[in-house]
Amino acid sequence: MIMKIKILVMFLIFSCSVNTEIENSNSDIELPALRINQSFSKGYRVLKTTISDPFIFDAKFPATDLSIGYVLRYYFYTAIDLSSTNNVLLSMNNNSFSMPETRDPIELVRAVIYEIRDMAYGSKEYEDFVEKYFSGCIDISKISSNCVIPTIYEPVCGCDGFNYTNSSAADCNGVLNYYEGPCK
Any idea what DSSP says for residue 96? E
Domain span including residue 58: 27-133
Please name the residues in contact with 94: beta carbons below 8 A apart, sequence gap of 6 or more.
42
Total number of domains in the chain: 2
Domain match, 116 and 164 both: no
Cβ proximity of 164 and 175 under 8 Å:
yes
Residue 19: inside a domain, yes or no?
no
pLDDT digit of tens for each residue in the chain (184 aa)? Answer: 554 444 444 434 433 333 333 443 455 789 999 999 888 888 999 999 999 999 999 999 999 999 999 999 999 999 999 999 999 999 999 899 999 999 899 999 999 999 999 998 899 999 999 999 999 999 999 999 899 999 999 999 999 999 999 999 999 999 999 999 999 8
At 135 the three-state DSSP class reads: coil
| pTM of the shown model | 0.82
Residue 98's DSSP bridge partners are 88
DSSP state for residue 4 in the 8-state scheme: H
Residues 100 and 159 in one domain: no
Assess whether 94 and 38 both reside in one domain: yes
CA distance readout (Å), 103 to 48, 120, 140, 141: 13, 28, 28, 31
